[in-house]
């Protein structure tokens, strides 16, 4: 289980690598991921949804799990380029605050909110997920949509999330899972950028205790690896092959080459993908 065992220097080193990676590649990664910086979700092997459709479906599934409505306040920790926060606000009427430590993501997310005409209900700010600057019990729901694995200390982040949740509020997240011995190799890839994508993997069975230590009550812990990982990486690989020339023209050729290597390594890693939902006790 990931805990607070890393030294300050190790945390700083990982944070610097993460900041640099997402500043340089956020727009490109969103392009490969169908607009959002997270996996897609396919109902079955015969599901012909595109990457963009499957990505929006995963956002929808997570929105359903946090059970919010018009006027409810949601904190999106690790908001990426803003697409999930915008979709959440549009589909539920909620007020969403997204946080990121990447200036590039902050800029892209704010632009997307203005373009979608939801800037009055969706805002973004630079914030440290391990030291949130919000009042206690100021949100009805918190989600971490494919962001917690990139943070040095899951427990510290979950404790911060629990503190800003109102009693009875709900948290939902997705996380990469350690399902195979080869995942240890994935964490130690040659390129620092690759390590940022994976973070330190943990087993889904470790989540109940982690949530309880953070002051949260587990509601759902589900392995959805078979509906997410292989198809997502396959879509990314296909896009890199089919649109290599146009992607190279729009983005730096080094970034395109880098993601060729990242996708291949991720496909070989054997990691899984899980959905975790928990409540803050009380009424």
Model confidence over 251-283: pLDDT tens digits? 888 888 888 888 988 888 889 999 999 999 986
How does residue 180 score in pLDDT terms, banded at 50, 70 and 90? Answer: low
* More confident site: 184 or 233: 233
Could you give phi then psi for residue 99, rounded to 5 degrees? -125, 150
Q: Find the mean pLDDT for residues 133-161.
A: 95
Instruction: Give the pLDDT confidence score for residue 1 in this predicted structure.
Output: 39
pLDDT at 187 > cutoff 60: no
pLDDT at 97 > cutoff 60: yes
Q: Is 44 exposed, middle or buried (0-12, 13-18, 19+ CB in 10 A)?
A: exposed
Could you give phi then psi for residue 270, rounded to 5 degrees? 75, 25
Instruction: Give the pLDDT confidence score for residue 23 in this predicted structure.
Output: 56
**Could you give the percent of the chain with pLDDT greater than 70?**
84
pLDDT at 76 > cutoff 70: yes
Instruction: Give the pLDDT confidence score for residue 48 in this predicted structure.
Output: 95
- Cα–Cα separations (whole angstroms), residue 7 to 14, 66, 189, 198: 11, 34, 20, 19
Instruction: Give the pLDDT confidence score for residue 270 in this predicted structure.
Output: 84
How does residue 120 score in pLDDT terms, banded at 50, 70 and 90? Answer: very high
Beta strand extents in 101-207 (DSSP E only): 122-126, 139-144, 165-177
Nearby residues of 209 by Cβ (< 8 Å), 6 or more positions away: 1
pTM: 0.85
Instruction: Give the pLDDT confidence score for residue 160 in this predicted structure.
Output: 96
Q: Find the mean pLDDT for residues 31-58.
A: 94
């Amino acid at each position: 289980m990931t805990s607070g065992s890393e030294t300050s220097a190790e945390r700083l080193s990982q944070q610097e690598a993460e900041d640099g990676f997402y500043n340089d590649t956020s727009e490109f990664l969103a392009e490969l991921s169908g607009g959002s910086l997270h996996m897609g979700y396919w109902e079955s092997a015969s599901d012909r949804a595109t990457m963009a459709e499957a990505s929006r479906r995963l956002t929808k599934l997570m929105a359903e799990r946090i059970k919010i409505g018009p006027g409810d306040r949601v904190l999106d920790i690790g908001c990426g380029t803003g697409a999930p926060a915008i979709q959440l606000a549009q589909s539920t009427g909620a007020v969403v605050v997204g946080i990121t430590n990447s200036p590039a993501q902050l800029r892209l997310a704010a632009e997307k909110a203005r373009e979608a005409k939801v800037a009055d209900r969706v805002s973004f700010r630079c914030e440290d997920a391990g030291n949130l600057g919000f009042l206690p019990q100021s949100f009805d729901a918190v989600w971490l949509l494919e962001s917690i694995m990139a943070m040095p200390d899951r427990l510290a982040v979950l404790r911060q999330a629990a503190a800003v949740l109102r009693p009875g509020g709900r948290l939902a997240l997705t996380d990469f899972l350690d399902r195979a011995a080869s995942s240890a190799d994935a964490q130690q890839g040659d390129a620092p950028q690759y390590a940022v994508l994976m973070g330190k993997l943990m087993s889904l069975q470790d989540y109940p205790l982690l949530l309880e230590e953070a002051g949260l009550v587990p509601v759902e812990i589900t392995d959805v690896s078979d509906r997410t990982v292989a198809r997502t990486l396959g879509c990314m690989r296909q896009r890199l092959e089919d649109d290599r020339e146009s992607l190279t023209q729009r983005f730096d050729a080094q970034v395109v080459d880098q993601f060729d290597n990242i996708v291949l390594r991720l496909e070989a890693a054997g990691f899984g993908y899980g959905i975790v939902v928990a409540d803050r006790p009380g009424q």
